[in-house]
A and B are shown apart, each in its own frame.
Chain A
Amino acid sequence: MTGDAILRAEGITCRFGRFTALRDVSASFPRGALTAVIGPNGAGKSTFFNILSGSIPPTEGRVVYEGRDLARTPQHRYARLGIAKSFQITTVFPSLSVAECVRVACQALVSRYDIWRPRARLTALDDEAAALLDTVGLWDKRARPAGLLAHGEQRALEIAMALAARPRLLLLDEPTAGMSPEETRAMMQLILRLARERTVVLVEHKMKLVMGISDRVLVLHHGEVLAEGTPADIRGDATVRRVYLGQRDAA
């Protein structure tokens, strides 16, 4: 049913001083699937995301992407390997226009050190950026400075910038954080559409949100894997219910 694993976490342990954020976490993310990583506050979701996306190195264990150990891969190479991410805190280029944000993200794949040719001559990038802006519904706002967009729009822009790398693997860290219910619904629709064409790993605090759209769910609790399986499996899991019991966002 599911393809080979595009990404594997093998025995990940992460310690900050005496505190152990993750203990021997192993997981594999099937190619083409939408996998959600969920868990209550303090479960180690963000640490796990940061290790998967290469922002911090694990204390022990390794991350393998398409058969390649990512331990020695610098962050800026991830995009060219086909891995893109969105951060929990929105990161756009605030004083650049929306269109320029996406254009420069597209440019990162083809031209990084050319100091002489006019960038306006790379017209293919404009078309690419226009298509991406259309995908996330920001074409009308293209001339605005990115920093002036509403929160939900900035998150959508960030996703357009991540897509500019033409990723095979898209890592999203709480993409609906701080969003209104309408914005959340639109974002979930967008993620579902994006997941049709690529592998998506989604870290989310709100269990209810991901159950309807995920192919697989991984539940973290106190830095360990509590459960893994299809949304139906997870919904029926007694331990998961106990962990989420009393939480407002429980399923």
Chain B
Amino acid sequence: MDGAGSTVAVHAARPDLLAFATRHRATLAAVAVLVFPALLPFKAVAADVLVYGLFALGFNLVYGYLGLLSFGHAALFGGGAYACGIVFTRFGVPWWAAVGAGVAGGAVIAAVIGALAIRTRGIYFAMVTLALAQCVYYAAYEAEGWTGGENGLRGVDVSAITLGPWHVDFVNPLTRVYVIAAFVVVALFAVSRVLASPFGAAMEAVRENEARARACGFDVRATRWLAFVLSGAVCGLAGALHALTIGIVPVETLTYTTSGLVVMMTLLGGMGTYFGPFIGAAVFLLLENLVSLWTVHWQLVVGLAFIACVLFFPRGVWGTLLAGLRR
């Protein structure tokens, strides 16, 4: 009797812990984001994890929560980076306004690509988004006067930032990472809020069954479009932070390999989980950095790790962990 009683207690305690973690997921994620740069020996990797983690978080809105696989998210990430870089270098706006321009840039490009692509689904959606993203890539490549063409957009140099009475040295790697982390924390709370909103429920309904969602009264296209735009805003923010981190916008941010990268990171971490994409980005970038220390063929090792993950842990690192805790 006692044994049975304690088993029940154990099983009851676990969902409670999970329920607590779910309720405070944004706070817990924010703590993780603020703590891990201090633990990492390489600050450049920390900045990359934050930027790509945020990128994957935005991508997962469309992939995990809306159920559409986009192969064109480089256009939203790169679009945000270029929007930020262009207004900063050409119009001399303050750095924080340039970040705002990055968010807007990502959202506007998403609004256009989304309007054209949401009519399709499945493999066609992937192909249409890929093709449209390639259009954005070639446009940036050709518009040398604005974008710097194949040399990339140089001169996104922010050496010091002033916030009211505070003067922050942006060249110091650790402060730079924490300025970026501050934006990421804001985005984490915003995304968590969207997912918990009535619209978040509408996204899930559309993902689960389009015909039934429509019969319930949800406009499937409008829901998809709005989710795509929100995803664009988050990815645009990630792009803008990327531009500020490395001081340049390479034209490669717009290539389809960037689109593929975010798909890999999200799958590695766990699609459709709140924090999984972040974990995926961290695992990917840490693997890349560690393996490239001893071999130039790091892509082979990371690729094998990815294949193993997809074959044996289709829910991703984070998704598998969560499923294990729920059991």
A residues engaging B (CB < 8 A)? 74-80, 84-85, 87, 91-96, 100, 103-105, 107-109, 111-120, 122, 158, 161-162, 164-165
Q: Would A84 and B215 be within 8 Å (CB), given that A93-B204, A93-B205, A119-B201 are in contact? A: yes
B residues engaging A (CB < 8 A)? 193-194, 196-202, 204-205, 208-209, 211-220, 222-223, 226, 230
- Chain B residues lying within 8 Å of A112, measured Cβ to Cβ, are 198-199, 202, 217-219, 222-223
3 tightest Cβ-Cβ pairs between the two chains A and B: A79-B217, A93-B208, A91-B212
**Among A92, A100, A115, contact of B212 (Cβ-Cβ < 8 Å):** A92
B230 to chain A: closest residue by CB: A115
Decide: B197 and A104 in contact? CB cutoff 8 A.
no
**Among A107, A119, A162, contact of B215 (Cβ-Cβ < 8 Å):** A162
- Chain B residues lying within 8 Å of A115, measured Cβ to Cβ, are 193-194, 197, 199-200, 226, 230
Decide: A94 and B201 in contact? CB cutoff 8 A.
no
**Among B194, B197, B218, contact of A108 (Cβ-Cβ < 8 Å):** B218
> Measured between C-beta atoms, what is the minimum distance from B203 to chain A in Å?
10
Decide: A104 and B196 in contact? CB cutoff 8 A.
no
> Measured between C-beta atoms, what is the minimum distance from A184 to chain B in Å?
22
Decide: A104 and B217 in contact? CB cutoff 8 A.
no
Identify which of A113, A118, A162 gathers the most chain B CB atoms within 10 Å of its CB.
A113
- Chain B residues lying within 8 Å of A77, measured Cβ to Cβ, are 217
- Chain B residues lying within 8 Å of A113, measured Cβ to Cβ, are 198-199, 202, 222-223, 226
Decide: A74 and B219 in contact? CB cutoff 8 A.
yes
Q: Would A96 and B217 be within 8 Å (CB), given that A112-B199, A113-B199, A116-B193 are in contact? A: no
- Chain A residues lying within 8 Å of B222, measured Cβ to Cβ, are 112-113
- Chain A residues lying within 8 Å of B212, measured Cβ to Cβ, are 87, 91-93, 158, 161
- Chain A residues lying within 8 Å of B223, measured Cβ to Cβ, are 112-113
Complex: how many Å from CA A111 to CA B219?
A: 12
Q: Would A117 and B217 be within 8 Å (CB), given that A91-B211, A108-B202 are in contact? A: no
Decide: A80 and B197 in contact? CB cutoff 8 A.
no
Complex: how many Å from CA A75 to CA B221?
A: 11
Decide: A79 and B198 in contact? CB cutoff 8 A.
no
- Chain B residues lying within 8 Å of A93, measured Cβ to Cβ, are 204-205, 208-209, 212-213
Decide: A80 and B199 in contact? CB cutoff 8 A.
no
Q: Would A75 and B198 be within 8 Å (CB), given that A93-B208, A113-B222, A113-B226 are in contact? A: no
Decide: B214 and A107 in contact? CB cutoff 8 A.
no
Complex: how many Å from CA A78 to CA B217?
A: 7
24 contacts between A and B (CB under 8 A): A74-B219, A75-B214, A75-B215, A76-B220, A78-B215, A85-B215, A87-B212, A91-B212, A92-B209, A94-B208, A105-B216, A112-B199, A112-B202, A112-B218, A112-B219, A112-B223, A113-B199, A114-B197, A114-B198, A114-B199, A119-B196, A119-B198, A119-B200, A161-B216
Complex: how many Å from CA A112 to CA B201?
A: 9
Complex: how many Å from CA A76 to CA B193?
A: 26
- Chain A residues lying within 8 Å of B194, measured Cβ to Cβ, are 115-116
> Measured between C-beta atoms, what is the minimum distance from B16 to chain A in Å?
15
- Chain B residues lying within 8 Å of A74, measured Cβ to Cβ, are 219
- Chain B residues lying within 8 Å of A108, measured Cβ to Cβ, are 202, 205, 213, 216-218
- Chain A residues lying within 8 Å of B209, measured Cβ to Cβ, are 91-94
**Among B201, B211, B230, contact of A104 (Cβ-Cβ < 8 Å):** B201
Complex: how many Å from CA A164 to CA B201?
A: 15
**Among B196, B205, B217, B219, contact of A118 (Cβ-Cβ < 8 Å):** B196
- Chain A residues lying within 8 Å of B215, measured Cβ to Cβ, are 75, 78-79, 84-85, 87, 91, 162
Decide: A96 and B208 in contact? CB cutoff 8 A.
yes
Decide: A111 and B198 in contact? CB cutoff 8 A.
yes
> Measured between C-beta atoms, what is the minimum distance from A174 to chain B in Å?
16
**16 other A-B residue contacts (CB within 8 Å) besides A75-B214, A93-B209, A112-B223:** A80-B217, A85-B215, A87-B215, A93-B204, A93-B208, A93-B213, A100-B201, A108-B213, A108-B218, A111-B198, A113-B198, A113-B223, A115-B200, A116-B194, A118-B193, A118-B197
Complex: how many Å from CA A114 to CA B202?
A: 10
- Chain A residues lying within 8 Å of B219, measured Cβ to Cβ, are 74, 76, 112
**Among B193, B200, B205, B216, contact of A79 (Cβ-Cβ < 8 Å):** B216
- Chain A residues lying within 8 Å of B208, measured Cβ to Cβ, are 92-96
Decide: B211 and A87 in contact? CB cutoff 8 A.
yes
- Chain B residues lying within 8 Å of A95, measured Cβ to Cβ, are 208
Decide: A116 and B197 in contact? CB cutoff 8 A.
yes
A171 to chain B: closest residue by CB: B215
Identify which of A74, A79, A112 gathers the most chain B CB atoms within 10 Å of its CB.
A112
Complex: how many Å from CA A78 to CA B204?
A: 20
B210 to chain A: closest residue by CB: A91
> Measured between C-beta atoms, what is the minimum distance from B61 to chain A in Å?
11
- Chain B residues lying within 8 Å of A162, measured Cβ to Cβ, are 215
- Chain A residues lying within 8 Å of B213, measured Cβ to Cβ, are 93, 108
> Measured between C-beta atoms, what is the minimum distance from B318 to chain A in Å?
17
Decide: B193 and A104 in contact? CB cutoff 8 A.
no
